[in-house]
Structure 1
Amino acid sequence: MTTSTRTALVTGGAGGLGAATAERLRGDGIQAITLDLAGADIEADVTDEPTLRQLAQDIGPVDILVNSAGIVGPNTPLLDTTPEEWRRVLEVNVIGTVNTMRAFVPGMRERGWGRVVNFASMAGKDGNPNLSVYSASKAAVIALTKSAGKELATSGVLMNVVTPAVIATPMNDSTSREVLDHITALIPMKRIGRPEEVAELVAFLASERVSFSTGAVYDISGGRATY
C-alpha cells in the first residue's frame, strides 16, 4: 500500500485541530475526508452510531482514523455540574470516539493495516480545575486507547493518543479567561500551542514511520507534562 492510495477520516474536521490535521495529511498525499456537524466533507454526528456504520460502507476502505471531535463542556466547579452536562460531554468525547472506532477499525483489521489517532488532553492526565467533566472524558479516551491498542497490537492496526496542552483553536473560545490563564501558566514554554504543531505529530502517528508504538500517549504540551 502506498501513501497516495490511503484514505483518512478526520472527525471534528471542520475547524481547529481536525482541520489542521486534514490539511497536513493531504500534504502527504493522503485523501483526508473531514466529518463534522457542519462545514465538513461529511456532515454527521459522532454520537449517531447507525449513521457511522452506514458511512463506513459508503466511504469504502478507511486506513487512518483521527478522532478529533469533542466539546469542552461546563467551565464550573464539580459540585455545580449537572448529570445532563456529564452525559452530553461523555457522549461526544468518549462514546463518539468508540462509535467511530467500532465502525471503521474492523475494516483496517481485515486489511492488516491501519492507524488510529485519538485526541485527548493534558487535562485527562492532570485534571484541570473547573473542568472536571472535560478532564474525566479525556482520561477515559486515554484509557480507551491503551486498552484497544493492546487488543489490536498484532493486527497491523496501531492506535495511539495525543494529549495537547491548551492550543489556539475555536474550541477554546468559550473557555473562560481565568481557566486559560491558569493552564497556560503551567506550560514551561510560556505560550499556547499552534494547531499545525499538533497536526505534525498526528501525521507522524498516522504514517508507516511509526511501527513499534501502540496504545501509547504522546504529550504535546510545551513541557507541561510532569510524568
Structure 2
Amino acid sequence: MDLELEGKRALVTGSSSGIGAAIARLLAAEGAKVMFHGRDEAKTRAVAQSIVDAGGEADFVMGALNEEADCARVASAVIERFGGVDILVNNAGGMAASSRPDTTAESFNRPWLETPWDDWRWTYEQNVGSSVRLIQALAPGMIERGWGRIINISSASATQTEPDLADYQPAKAAITNMTSGLAKSLAGTGVTVNTVTPGTIATEGVRAGFVEWANQLGWTELDWPTIERRFTHEVIPQPIKHFGRPEDIARMVAFIASPQASYMTGSNYRVDGGQCRSIN
C-alpha cells in the first residue's frame, strides 16, 4: 500500500533510539522528510545521517522537552529548516526517576506515597507539557494549510494501572484524554489527532531491564527468548506470547499519519499484544 507520505514533513520527538527511531525511519522510508529529535547529539545525528546516507531526507534537533525554552527552540528550528510540519509525533516521554543519573533499580519506582511532587512536575512537563507546547507551536501551520496529523504516544499504563508509578501513569492518561478533546477542537480543519498506545515493547533498554528483573527472580536461563516467553506467560500474561517490537508501533503511526487515515481522529489505538484487559 502506498501511504502517500512522499514529501510530507514530520517531527518525531524522542527519536534517537527505540520506538521513536523506528517511527522516524519508517516515515522516511515512505518518503517523508523527517526531523529527528533527542538529547544525545551523537546518537541523534547518527540516526538522522543514516537516513540521508540511504537517500532520504532528514535533519535533527536537540532539546530537553521538559523545559519551555527548549520546546520553543525545537519548534522554531523545525519551522526554520522545514517551513513547518505536516506530521507531529509526540513520542518523547519518560518519568522523573529515569532522568536522574544516580537512579538505582530500587529507587526507580518509588512507592506512591513517597513520590515527591517535583517528580510529578518533571514527568508532566516531559509528557504533557512538551506535547502541548509543540502542538500549540506547530498546529497553526497545519490548520492554515488545511492538512495535518498529530499523533501522541501514550502507554498501556494510562488505562490499566499498576502499583506505584505515581507520576507516570496519570501523565500518560492525560495524553490520551488530551487527544480526544483536541480532535474535537480541530474539527473541520483537516487536522486529525490520535493516540497510539504501546504495550511492552522490547527496545534495547527494556530488554536490559527484563534481564535484570529475571536475575532478581532467580531465573537461571537468561537468554532473551526464554525471558520473553516466561514473562509473557507467567509475569505479564497476554494473548500474544511475545513482546512488541518498535516496528510494530511505527507501522501503526505511519498509517495514522497518512492520507489513508482521513476518517480516523480522536481515537486511542492500542498496539499491546492484548495486554490491556479492558475493551478501550
Match for 1:177 among 213, 236, 241? 213
In the alignment, what sits opposite 1:42? 61
Match for 2:191 among 154, 157, 163? 157
In the alignment, what sits opposite 2:49? none
Distance in 1 of aligned mates of 2:142 and 2:65 = 19
TM-score (norm 1): 0.91
Amino acid at match of 1:65: L
Instruction: State the shift of 1:210 in Å.
Output: 0.4
Distance in 1 of aligned mates of 2:72 and 2:260 = 33
Report how many aligned residue pairs link the two structures.
226
In the alignment, what sits opposite 1:63? 86
What pairs with 1:109-148 in structure 2 (closer than 5 Å)?
Answer: 109-148=143-182
Distance in 2 of aligned mates of 1:50 and 1:131 = 29
1:144-167 Cα deviation digits (max 9, x unpaired)? 111101111210001100111111
User: The residue matched to 1:98 in structure 2 has which SS?
Assistant: helix
User: The residue matched to 1:5 in structure 2 has which SS?
Assistant: coil
Instruction: State the shift of 1:49 in Å.
Output: 3.3
Instruction: State the shift of 1:190 in Å.
Output: 2.5
1:113-171 Cα deviation digits (max 9, x unpaired)? 00111100110011122212111110000011111011112100011001111111245
1:159-208 Cα deviation digits (max 9, x unpaired)? 10011111112453558738x95996142213211000110000001001
What is the Cα-based RMSD across aligned positions, in Å? 2.2
What pairs with 1:1-227 in structure 2 (closer than 5 Å)?
Answer: 3-38=5-40, 39-40=43-44, 41-47=60-66, 48-59=70-81, 60-72=83-95, 73=97, 74-170=108-204, 172=206, 173=208, 177=213, 181=231, 185-225=236-276, 226-227=278-279
Contact 2:90-2:152 at 8 Å conserved across structures: yes
Distance in 2 of aligned mates of 1:12 and 1:78 = 27
Contact 1:184-1:190 at 8 Å conserved across structures: no
Amino acid at match of 1:141: I
User: The residue matched to 1:123 in structure 2 has which SS?
Assistant: helix
Matched-pair identity in %: 36
User: The residue matched to 1:187 in structure 2 has which SS?
Assistant: coil
TM-score (norm 2): 0.75
Structure index of larger Rg:
2
